Amino acid sequence: MRKEKVFFASTLVIGAVLVLALVGMVNWLSYRHYFRWDWTRAKVYSLSEKTLNVLKGVKEPVRVVVFMTGTTPLFDQVKELLGRYQAACPKLAVEFIDPDRDPLRTRQLAQEFGVSMANTVVFAQGDRKKYVSSDQIAEYDYTGMQFGQAPKIKAFKGEEQFTSAILQVTNPKVPKAYFTSGHGEHDLEGWDEGGLSQLKELLKRDNWETAKLPPFSTSIPEDCDLLVVAGPTAPFAPVEKQAIEAFLEKGGRLLALLDPVLPGRQQASGLEELLAKRGVKVGNDLVVDPERRLPFFDLSAVFVNEFRAHPTVDGLKGMAVLLPVARSVSTQQAQGAKTTVLFTTSSAGFGETDLEGLLLRRTVEKNPNDTPGPVSLAVAAEPEKAEGPAWRLVVVGDSDFATNGQLANAGNANLAMNLVNWLGQKEQSLGIAPRQPEQVNLVLSAGQLKAIMLISLVGLPALGIVLGVVVWWRRRR
């Protein structure tokens, strides 16, 4: 009897050890080799092929710091997405910082990375940093706010933003943008409403260097990746126009923000002929759109949400841009140039050509001489064929939208950065579409609702009673 007990106990112990060993082997194998399946229709839990290719190319460690509390609406999605990034790329070191629970660590890292706002994800490698804020991670639907409802996430853009950030910090070359000066342009360093200091900060966060181009420069610096002309009120000298022309001929990139030329207040920039050679016509008018007039704004303020198909504005669809004072910018035939209209007014918009009369009477009236609507307000141009230097330029009929006083309005900041990044060949989208949250609605008729109620309230309890009676009856027998 004792031998049987010893044998039984030994068998039990050996079996337990084998089970533990088997569980340990399974856990070890699952840690080293595991698989995930994404059964959602929109593949919201799968990384795109382009993201996987980017992650494969990461050779040096990339630090990711998430300044976000657990109660933030985007926290779970950001955490899950970065978990997939880490699984695909061991070089990523992700750290989550809760400002509420760990204020000292938050302050330390905020000073280290220069973070001034919450709900920000920082990507860093060496001295290169890229900041992704919560408004860049998701698009929201605000239509329900008028009924007291909270904004709903319309599209999650975490993957396109995070992949773009990794590309930027792992790329050793930092592009440089020069801003022209000496012609009444907006001041790159200015902190007043007409300055561009906020745009400069956005460029810095997007891994751009900025500098001023001295007036009367006979050539554009060799390290110039983008030349920005932001609201000149005086003409460029012939030597300067020749320098810009030579810059474009060598494959340079130009962003021209040209305001309406109001008599007695400013003069034409003199760049019109240079732009016309590349298929861009700058109108001598002031654009209004009575159908899109905004309260508390002058009639000259144009509220734009008519976007065409182009990488610079594809991500703006569903948003809007506010141009305080704009002129028409349209396309025209030019040999070797391919031009695209970026956005327009509504069909009711038009370009007032009687600018002197406008200043005298302070009213706008449409007449046959005016530019008919819908009026084009911005144009992008590049070579028609890939042969030769790949110059690019964008012309917008307003410069105020990018200033400190207007950059926070609507989608102005997004538009400014999209234009800069397209010109610098740093397209943000990377071909990765924003993930659309799946909205599954179940519509039931009154009869179906009644059937569900009867089954849940009557049928299931009755089934339990019947089974209990059957079991009781079998035991009695």
> Per-residue pLDDT for 439 more than 60?
no
Q: What is the pLDDT of residue 5?
A: 67
Q: How far apart are CA 377 and CA 330, in angstroms?
A: 7
> Per-residue pLDDT for 232 more than 80?
yes
Q: Report, as an integer, the average pLDDT of 156-177.
A: 85
CATH architecture of the domain covering 174-423: 3-Layer(aba) Sandwich (3.40)
Q: How far apart are CA 435 and CA 458, in angstroms?
A: 42
- 3.30.1330.10, 3.90.1150.10, 3.30.70.3400, 3.40.30.10: CATH of 49-169: 3.40.30.10
Angle between helix axes 49-56 and 158-170 (nearest 10 degrees) is 30
The encoded tokens of residue 109 equal 């890292």
> Per-residue pLDDT for 185 more than 50?
yes
130-134: Cβ within 8 A, 24+ apart:
130/164, 130/165, 130/168, 130/169, 130/205, 130/206, 130/207, 131/205, 132/161, 132/162, 132/165, 134/68, 134/72, 134/74
Element (H, E) at 3: helix 2-32
The encoded tokens of residue 266 equal 């400013």
Which residues have CB under 8 Å from 95's CB, separation 6+?
63, 64, 65, 66
Q: What is the pLDDT of residue 348?
A: 92
Measured from the Cβ of residue 231, the count of other Cβ atoms closer than 10 Å reads 21
Q: How far apart are CA 334 and CA 218, in angstroms?
A: 26
Rg (CA), the chain: 31
Which residues have CB under 8 Å from 282's CB, separation 6+?
258, 271, 272, 275, 276, 327, 328, 329, 395, 397
Per the prediction, the chain carries an average pLDDT of 85
Is the pTM for the entire model greater than 0.75? no
Confidence of residue 158 (pLDDT cuts 50, 70, 90): confident
> Per-residue pLDDT for 9 more than 80?
no
Report which of residues 248 and 152 the model is more confident about.
Answer: 248
Provide φ and ψ at 323, rounded to 5°.
-110, 110
> Nearest CA to 315 among 294, 342, 349?
342
Q: How far apart are CA 397 and CA 375, in angstroms?
A: 11
> Per-residue pLDDT for 42 more than 60?
no
Angle between helix axes 75-88 and 158-170 (nearest 10 degrees) is 50
Confidence of residue 2 (pLDDT cuts 50, 70, 90): low
Q: How far apart are CA 338 and CA 280, in angstroms?
A: 10
Report which of residues 53 and 332 the model is more confident about.
Answer: 332
Q: What is the pLDDT of residue 378?
A: 98
Which residues have CB under 8 Å from 15's CB, separation 6+?
none
Q: What is the pLDDT of residue 205?
A: 73
Q: How far apart are CA 339 and CA 333, in angstroms?
A: 9
Confidence of residue 416 (pLDDT cuts 50, 70, 90): very high
Q: How far is CA 408 from CA 43, 159, 197, 320, 415, in A?
A: 33, 24, 13, 12, 11
The model's pLDDT over 257-284, given as tens digits with 9 standing for 90+, comes to: 999 998 888 899 999 999 999 999 999 9
The encoded tokens of residue 445 equal 């008729």
Q: How far apart are CA 63 and CA 89, in angstroms?
A: 12
Measured from the Cβ of residue 39, the count of other Cβ atoms closer than 10 Å reads 6
Domain ranges of the chain: 49-169, 174-423
> Per-residue pLDDT for 204 more than 90?
no
> Per-residue pLDDT for 391 more than 50?
yes
Decide: 387 and 321 in contact? Cβ < 8 Å.
no
Confidence of residue 328 (pLDDT cuts 50, 70, 90): very high
Strands, E, within 234-372: which ranges?
253-257, 280-282, 286-288, 302-304, 306-307, 321-323, 329-331, 337-344, 350-352
Q: What is the pLDDT of residue 438?
A: 53
Q: What is the pLDDT of residue 196?
A: 97
The encoded tokens of residue 96 equal 């989550």
The model's pLDDT over 61-103, given as tens digits with 9 standing for 90+, comes to: 999 999 888 888 889 989 999 999 998 999 999 999 888 888 8
Q: What is the pLDDT of residue 410?
A: 83
The encoded tokens of residue 39 equal 């059964």
> Per-residue pLDDT for 287 more than 80?
yes
Q: What is the pLDDT of residue 431?
A: 47
